[in-house]
Every structure is written in C-alpha cells, then in structure tokens.
Structure 1
Amino acid sequence: MLSDVSLPDPDAIFQDFRLSGRDCVIAAVSGGSDSLALLVLLHVFLRRHSASPRLLAVTVDHALRPGSAGEAKTVAAFCAACDIDHQIAVWRGPKPSTGISAAAREARHRLLAEAAAAAGTDLVFTGHTQDDQAETVTMRASRGSGRGAAGIALATLFDGRIWFARPLLNIRRSALRAYLKQAGVTWIEDPTNRDERYERARTRIAMDIERFRQAVEHSRRAAADRELLGRNAAEVIVRHAECPLPGLVRLDDGFLSCDRDATRYALRILLAVVGGREHLPDDARTAALLDKIRQPPLRATLSRTVVRASKKGFYFHRESRDLPFNPLGDAPLVWDGRYLLYGKGAAGISVGPLGIGNAQSFDMPANLPSSVFRGVLAAEPALWKGGKYLGLAREMPDLTVTPALGPWQRYLPSFDFAPAKAVASLLDIEPLPVLPFASHNER
C-alpha cells in the first residue's frame, strides 16, 4: 500500500448520486485498475445500504486484441467470486481502418446503453479518474480546446436516455491502486496504455506533477465557467425565444439587452440546433453576426441556418441547400441532424425536403413574413417515392417526427444541462431525464 495516498471512501464517493428508486445500476468493468476499483467500491457501498439497487457489472469486449475475450472471462470469474452479476457485451462486425479509438468508444457506449436498457436502468458508472481528466484537458489544450477545456463531465446523457456517471473523477489512479492492493485485488494491464503510438499514452508518459495540477485546476475553472455561461444562455432562450412552427425559431428584441456573453452563447446554441449541426458555430463569427443583427434589415447564413432580422423580429430557419434524401426503414432515422423519425418504412420511400414548390401550396399564417414561412417549409422533412411527393412527414399516419436536441442529441454533458433543458422546452421535446445526482448541483 502507498503510505502517502489517502484511500478512497465508498460512502464519500457515491452518497451524492441518486440511487433510490432504481432497481439496478451498472458498473462498466474492463478489468483494469480503475474500473475494478469502481466495481469494488460500488459493491461495498451497496452492501452497506440494504435498500440499494442491484449491481450489474458489464464488460465490453471490443475484439481488437487476441487476449480481449480471455480478459473478459477473467472479470467474469472475479465477479462470480464476489457474487456480482456480470455480462459480457462483444463488439461484433467489421472494424474501421481509421478512427478506431472513436469508433470503439461509440460502440462501447452503445453496448453499455443496450445492457442498461435491458436491465431496466438508466445509470451506468464508469471508472474515469482524475488522471484521465488531466490527460484529456492537456490533449485538448494542444489543439485549442475552447469549450473542451472543461474536460470530462461528472455525468453525460447518452442518446437522450442513459446516464454515464463518473464518480471517481476527483480521485487519483494511484489511490485506487493502493485500495485494490490493500484488498488483495489484482488487475489487468492494458498494453495500449503505454503504447506511444496513441496520443493519450504519450500524454500520460510526459505528465509530471506540476502539469497534472495545472490541468486539473484549469478544468475545474473551465467547467464552472461553462456551466455558469450555460445557465445564463438558458435564461436568454427561455425568456426571449419561441418556436412559432416546426423548424422556425423567433427571438424578440429583448435578447439584445441581455448580457453579451450569454446572448452570444445562446445564439451559437440556436444556430446549431436550427441548422442540425453537431458542433456549435465559431464564437468569433457568431459575435460578428450579433453585431449585424443589431442593425436590421439583415439576411445572413451561419451554420446552415438562415438568420433574418427585421422590424417584426429575428427569425432562424434551416437554409435550403444540401438537404438530404434518406431511405425510410424500420430503424429510427435522424434526418438532417434536426429530426428523429420513428415508424415502419416501405420499399422505395425516402425522406427529403418538402421543397419551395410544394411549400407554395400551404396557407400562410398572417403573423409571419411570407419569405420566412416558405423558407421554413421548404426545408421540412417530407416523404417521397420515385420522385413523387407524398406529404409532410409529420402529417403521415404511423410516423412519429420529433425535433432533435442539436449538438446534444447523442451526448449531453451535465455541465450543459441547463441550456439543453431550455432547448428541449423551446422545441417541445419530451423533458430530459433528471440528473443522476442527489442534488442538482455538481460537487
């Protein structure tokens, strides 16, 4: 045991997570020291509290190394010895030749989310540590991180339904290994952790104690700043934005009197949501647009979003270029990054834009400029077959069309929860799941 390391306390780690009311929680366990420590600590905590949910350990076998299947079985044997339920989820199918790390991460999250849904829970614990945080912040800083300086969030909502929580994010890896050694638990060393072909391994090897402390402190400040800015931007959206019809956002002129940083951030969010973009537009370009908006009339485009400023208000809608045609099958479809379509498809049916010609046939509401109304409708999803227009997607029976949550549709970090909640309310999306903390304030 390391004498200069404080051993982690299970109660201190998990007491602020919302566990009551859940029948099951999942621990993602690879067999490495971090995830094994997570499993042991969580197991101890749940045994101390008789009304706690059932613990299920899930190991994802990425099938990328010859020994991965054996490592998963080793974890299974450890869980059996501890009387912990365990499952192995295998990433099957062909693997990409490039971007393997990102693809493996996406597959891991998908498999864990599927396991959680099957177990009837929405909470998955992962073993990310303070070391992971420092490495992540350092790597992002080398690329000019921006919002990414906040690092890894304490929790992230995946696919709008499953929380991935990281209770060890403020604990050093050395403390976790000392805890395992005291408990007599051995772990598996992943050879890629020291393989300098990978950026994270190179960053880990080069990390000294001073760089580590600076990275951790920087991430804490950046996360607090990002969360505060997000709350202020959410207030701008709640107070000054409305959605007069699907695909259109209108801001009243009151938003121009709000705090400039919050207003600019709110604009970046709305531009990404309306344009169906995965990332927020550039901050400098958004600032320039904000200056122009103050002097209407204006028609500009940023992040695939048309911005119209007039005496009647400020309107945001998707531009009519580069709109996709996608086949409608039985699986849910994310169309243009803006809509989720659920329903049973038919042979030859595609989802594409309505088009300006078909938009002309709709009655125009009296409270909107005609150019705005036609432009919005032209970019809305419609069903097509063999080049023939069948109707607006949202008017089709047996087809559910809901707005997507813009850049947070797939991953929503907890420090962005306030603006995401504001956007969900604006677009009339089903309310977001409650944060997995006993208090809504992150520790």
Structure 2
Amino acid sequence: MHLAADWASRNGRRLLALTVDHGLNPDSPRWNDLAARAAAGAGADWRLLHWTGPHPATGLPAAARAARHRLIADAARAAGARVVLFAHTADDVAEGELMRADGSSLGRLRAWSPSPVWPEGRGLMLLRPLLDVRRQDLRDWLRARDAAWIDDPANDDPRFARSRARRALAGTSPPPTALAAPATARGLLAVEDDVIRLSRHADARTLAAALVCAGGGERPPRGDRLAHALTRLRSGEDFTAALSGARLEAAGDRVLVLREPGEYRRHATPPVPLPQGLETVWDGRWALTAPQSGWVAVPAAGRLNQLSDADRAVLSALPPAARAARPVLIRNDATAPVLAGDAHKAQALVAQRLASALDGMTHETDLGAFTHGATPWKHLFSSADIRE
C-alpha cells in the first residue's frame, strides 16, 4: 500500500485500499482500525469488507480465499478499478511450490493474472509487482518508514498447509523467482460471441481454458478427461464430448467449443431477473441489460419455435448446438420470448474471459476496450499466437 501510494501520488491516480474481515479472529476490529489509520496516513481511500454467512468446517483457507477474492472483485468493480495490487513476495512463491510438491492443487502466483473468481472478477486483473522481493526486505523497508504491519497468527497454525510450508522454509533462501513471459495460445483460431474455434493442434492449456470459458463456470476439466479429448483431436477423429459444461465438437478440420445445451435439461435453470438498467451476468457467458423492468432471461432451449421469424433467422447462422444456449428474454410472464440483442443490450463475455485466461491482456488499456462494450479480441493475440 505504501509503495502504491507513492506511485499514485506521482502519477495522479486514485488509490483504494481494501481490508477483508473474515470474522475468524477476535483481534480483527483492532486490525481493521490499524488498516484504516495506515490508509489515511498514506493518502489512500479505504473500505472494510466483511465475509458474512456460514463458514465451512473443512477447507477453510480455500473458502476464505474465494470469499476474499469475490469481495475484492465486487469492491473493485464498484470503484471503477481494473487492476488490484497484491503484495505477495518471493517467500509466498516458495511456500506455494512446497505445498504443490506435497499434493496441493494451489495455483501458481503470477505477476499479472486475471481475477480467479467469475463472474465477479470479469474485466479485472491482479498485479503482483513484488514476487522477486523477500518478505524480510519488505519488513525492513517498513521499519525504515516507521510503518506498522500485522502478523496473522493463522500463519503459525500448523493445521494449515501454508503455515507448515512457512515453518519448513524458515531460515532458508527461496530460489530466484523466474517471471515467465506470457505463453502463446496455441491452436486458438477465433472467438465469435460465445463460440470458440480451435485447431486440432490446440495445446492442453488452450483447450482447458476454452472449455471453462465456453461453459461459463469455474471448474476446469479433469486431467484424464482433458488428455483423452486431446488424444482424440490429434488422431483426427470426429466426435462430440461434454466437459466443464461445454460441448466440444470435432468434424474434419472444424473444432468448436460452445455451451453444452444439454446442461439446461439436466439441471433446473430458473429465470434470471434483469433489474432495469443494471448489467446482469447470465449463465456466466453473457452480460445483459434490460431497458425496462419486468424482464427475465432464460435459455433458448425449448423455446426456439416460439421466437419471431427475425430472431430465428439470426440463430440460423449459428452452429445448431449453439442456438439453444443463447439467452432469450420474457417480460411479465409473457409466453413469447425475444432473442437478447441490441434492443436489450447483450454482450458476450467469452472472448474477454478467454483473452485474460490465456495472457492475451498484457496492459491495463486492454481491459478498457471490454469495459466500454467493444470486443476487439483479435488484437489481444498476435498472429503468431493463434497459428497452429
């Protein structure tokens, strides 16, 4: 926060500091007060966020992390921010590597990465500029500024994997942090609204990201199922498979990844109310805004014959399986649905999400195009990146 405040002051940028109170420690009111005073002293705005509701008896660190990121993402979007800074250090990187070696599925820290929550984190990137700095060096720097910090006692609780890793590495020097260059998106050919086109030579990372983004959820495909799908693609087999809520269709040279419409039949899909003038994310894939009250969004599945001739003409240009997964709107329980479109603002989020997942957004300005409604995905991947 102090480093960011110095930078913000020099560059005329507003800085908002966020404190998340997880409700897990009786000292949290004192910590909140210290954070508020520190932010005021640094010239930053400050907000306190609370994790409310029931907390799980098991998997508490992971649940707290997910809740924390959702709260931060909501607050950042409300403030109009596109980038959130975190002070993770080289020690955090080393601890994470040790935890993964012990079987943890914890993700790797990267200097620049998308928010890990969806859809709350849409259009939001995380920046970690201190991954090559030791934790002790930061503390020495704070002491020199006569600035205080908080040591969370949970970091010394051996019940948690992070605490055990920190103890195991105490007194050692972590290896130099190698900050990898953005990886290419091998095999990505195009994104057209909510349909992704791949080549049969797409790599595992690209295929996994495409499946998650087209499916609209957060859970990646299981490793064995992903490997099997890649093998079938490489072999030239024509097939259809469902993974992560997405449909993978391979026929000749055409490989499509789109929403699996059968999910609407397998799982109840209640109508999603659309408050007047407020953007609402539907099915994790579309941002919808209704100009009047009374509208709800539902999938086109089972309603295609009720659409107008003009709406059916629009859908006829899509791959058959993609038609049922498009959002349609119904107002005040009317029986005739209408296809979400220009009159009822509809923006596909798949390209934006895939670009951030595959390191296609490398600057803050890349986020702005999506924030203001455009979807110029092609400039986010160089021509070399999207070739086979």
Q: What's 1:179 paired with?
A: 141
Q: 2:210 aligns with which of 257, 270, 274?
A: 270
Aligned to 1:96: 55
Matched residue, 1:224: 180
Structure 2-normalised TM-score?
0.72
Residue 134 of structure 1 pairs with residue 94 of structure 2: yes
Task: Provide the C-alpha distance between the structure 1 equivalents of 2:224 and 2:239, rounded to a whole number of angstroms.
Answer: 18
1:389–1:123 Cα change, 3 Å:
same
Question: What is residue 198 of structure 1 aligned with on the other side?
Answer: 160
Residue 257 of structure 2 aligns with an amino acid whose one-letter code is F
The answer for the alignment partner of 1:334 in structure 2 is 281
Residue 84 of structure 1 corresponds to which residue in structure 2?
43
Structure 2: distance between partners of 1:356 and 1:73: 54
Q: Distance in 2 between matches of 1:105 and 1:292?
A: 36
When the two chains are superposed, the root-mean-square deviation of aligned CA atoms in Å is 4.1
Whole-Å Cα distance in 2 between the matches of residues 224 and 167 of structure 1?
Answer: 13
> In structure 2, do the counterparts of structure 1 residues 172 and 335 end up closer, same or farther at CA, with 3 Å as the change threshold?
same
- Which of residues 267, 282, 299 is equivalent to 1:353? 299
Which amino acid is the alignment partner of residue 155 of structure 1?
W
Distance change in 2, residues 1:74/1:314 (3 Å): closer
1:124–1:164: 8 Å Cα contact kept in structure 2? yes
Q: Offset of 1:407 from its aligned partner? A: 10
What is the CA distance between 1:429 and its match in structure 2?
Answer: 5.8
SS of the equivalent of 2:337 reads strand
Deviations along 1:352-385, whole A, 9 cap, x unmatched? 32225625976579997xxx84322122222357
Render the CA deviation track for 1:29-56: whole Å, top value 9, x for unaligned. xxxxxxxxxx2x3445566x4x543545
Amino acid at match of 1:320: P
Structure 1 position 414, deviation (Å): 8.3
Higher relative contact order (CA 8 A, sep 6+): 1
Q: Deviations over 1:311-359 (max 9, x none)?
A: 5733333322222233314264333332222336756x54332225625
Matched, 1:288 2:228: yes
Is residue 306 of structure 1 aligned with residue 247 of structure 2?
yes
Corresponding residue for residue 402 of structure 1: 347
CA contact (8 A) 1:354 1:379 kept: yes
Structure 2 residue 109 is matched with structure 1 residue 152: yes
Q: CA deviation at 1:183?
A: 3.3
What SS does the corresponding residue of 1:337 show, helix, strand or coil?
Answer: coil
Q: Deviations over 1:137-178 (max 9, x none)?
A: 322333365xx66x1121334423444322222111111122
Matches within 5 A, 1:108-123: 108-113=68-73, 116=76, 121-123=81-83
Gaps of 5+ in 2: 116-120, 381-388
Q: How many residues align?
A: 356
CA distance in 1, matches of 2:64, 2:237: 48
Larger Rg: 1
1:376 to 299, 317, 322: 322
Contact 2:303 2:337 in 1 (8 A): no
Unpaired runs of at least 5, structure 1: 1-26, 28-38, 436-443
Deviation of 1:92 after TM superposition, in Å, equals 6.2
More helix by share: 1
Q: Which amino acid aligns with 1:202?
A: R
Indicate which of 316, 323, 331 corresponds to 2:257. Answer: 316
**Is the 1:393–1:401 contact (alpha carbons within 8 Å) kept by the matching residues of 2?**
no
Q: 1:414 to 1:42 in 2, by over 3 A?
A: farther
TM-score computed with the length of structure 1 as normaliser: 0.65
Cα shift readout 1:92-120 (whole Å, capped 9, x = no counterpart): 64343345444544454455455555655
Structure 2 CA distance for aligned equivalents of residues 42 and 395 of structure 1: 41
CA distance in 2, matches of 1:430, 1:295: 32
Contact 1:155-1:413 within 8 A present in 2 as well: no
CA contact (8 A) 1:153 1:414 kept: no
Query: Is the CA contact (8 Å cut-off) linking 1:335 and 1:341 kept in structure 2?
Result: yes
Using the alignment, how far apart are the partners of 1:92 and 1:344 within structure 2?
33
Rounded to whole Å, the distance in 2 between the matches of 1:396 and 1:116 is 27
Shift of 1:194: 1.0
1:21-77: CA deviations, max 9, x gaps? Answer: xxxxxx3xxxxxxxxxxx2x3445566x4x543545443334433321222222333
Q: Do the aligned partners of residues 357 and 166 (structure 1) sit closer, same or farther apart at CA in structure 2, a change above 3 Å counting?
A: closer
C-alpha contact 1:56 1:85 (8 A) present in aligned 2: yes
In the TM superposition, residue 91 of structure 1 has moved relative to its aligned partner by 1.1
